[in-house]
Structure 1
């Protein structure tokens, strides 16, 4: 049996017994990928704020911003993990006596581990930084939307603050429960009729139109959320494939002693 023959996942060569997995290059690639993505996402956020506007009919449309955001996420994820995978493949130590296929797989596997580690790091940081802000933003946005809806159904009248607040609370309960119960419906119809001068039938019709629009908006939001989740998952998979092949390229450049960065490996 030769000194370089492998058993399991451990190889013995002139450096002694060691695992094929080298965590130093993996962590280096993962941290580099995370840093690149953080910088590029921050840059993209600044560009997005510069082209958007809080005022109606001003700035880029919401659909346009959404499409650009998804395209930017795809570009950032692929570029950052390709860079991280290449670094890991380039830094990984070459094993004497391994076949070309084995070397390519081991380099690519390091790229995949960079991808997985980078995703976990990014998820942990994003969850830690965004949870509180997201909860606060959601709460404020929900309260603002409910108040806006109350003003819409009370248009044409002079509602007092007490009635407006009561209607806002009813809409908030409906949003939380997913439907407007019969008791709150009757109270809402009464408030609308008293403050707008509409008949009970007209007030009920206006409330029904609000409920229909609210359900359509919720269905649209769920559809957008599903599409966004699918595109994010697809982007992550493409980035993983990019990390695998980039790590293989880094390994070929390492073995050929090619100049950094993206040059053709020179056969010897």
Structure 2
């Protein structure tokens, strides 16, 4: 497209030739866009920090965890939306007020450019804030994972998955396997106290062997084989003084309770994972809505700031 080079082709420029110079200036004032984006990002960090402090005050020690989570979740959603509207509106207004004054440009074009400036300032602020938050969150997650791993190694604890893979040495120090093995060799009521340190070492051998036998079958949820049941019944009868039938009943009951506990723990873990998935979906949807609110607020306030700028 060929543009006219004569100032007389522009009605306003014909009255003031100086306006002809501004006719071909760039439509985007990047300085104003970045200024608005930086201002919005800084204001967002301030409001998010304030929201964190206000959110912590809504947690009461006298209310249940579910009500705390619901109240905190609702407050967080509202605060994120309000923060997005306020910060984006500030960035858009700054972009509209700080951009160059357009001369010899019709009102519709000015309105479009101001809207674009607001949107661009929102985009700059969003990308800048996302980069900062991603860096901070990644650092926190990495530090937390390292701390959790160190704590687990120091305490000798293992996960249920590791226990089911056949690690009896670690499993003996892990609930619930250690508890059920201890209950299997528990002395009946009224029996003499257990042996002291002189025989403690010999008592650990059947316990570790029992843990290995339990893990061998519990890893797949299968019942104990008749051979394992008979062998464990013999060990229990020797260590506790129970009759063979009572020892066998204790072995069967203890192993059944172990399977039930493992199943309950797996169900709880799946429920927790499903709840986390639902929370993640909800957070993503509300974050999407808050971003749309921010884009609209930035564009709207940029048109208002631009209108004031043109006066």
Shift of 1:253: 1.6
Q: For residues 39-75 of structure 1, what are the alpha-carbon distances to aligned partners after superposition, in whole Å with 9 as ceiling and x for unaligned?
A: 1111111112233368984896111101101110110
Match of 2:277 among 204, 222, 242: 222
Q: For residues 78-117 of structure 1, what are the alpha-carbon distances to aligned partners after superposition, in whole Å with 9 as ceiling and x for unaligned?
A: 1100111011111212222222111000011000010000
Match of 2:49 among 42, 51, 55: 42
> In the alignment, which residue of structure 2 is the partner of 1:89?
96
> In the alignment, which residue of structure 2 is the partner of 1:206?
261
> In the alignment, which residue of structure 1 is the partner of 2:290?
235
Match of 1:67 among 67, 74, 80: 74
8 A contact 1:85–1:243 mirrored in 2: yes
- With normalisation by structure 2, the TM-score equals 0.63
Paired residues in the alignment total 225
Flag the 1:52–1:141 CA change in 2: closer, same or farther, 3 A: farther
Describe how 1:85-124 pairs up with structure 2 within 5 A. 85-124=92-131
Query: Structure 2, unaligned stretches of length 5 or more?
Result: 11-18, 185-252
The structure with the largest alpha-carbon Rg is: 2
> In the alignment, which residue of structure 2 is the partner of 1:19?
26
> In the alignment, which residue of structure 1 is the partner of 2:158?
169
CA distance in 1, matches of 2:60, 2:66: 5
8 A contact 1:110–1:247 mirrored in 2: yes
8 A contact 2:97–2:302 mirrored in 1: yes
CA distance in 1, matches of 2:48, 2:286: 17
Please report the RMSD computed on the Cα atoms of aligned residues, expressed in angstroms.
3.2
Query: Structure 1, unaligned stretches of length 5 or more?
Result: 6-11, 148-161, 175-179, 257-268
Flag the 1:67–1:243 CA change in 2: closer, same or farther, 3 A: same
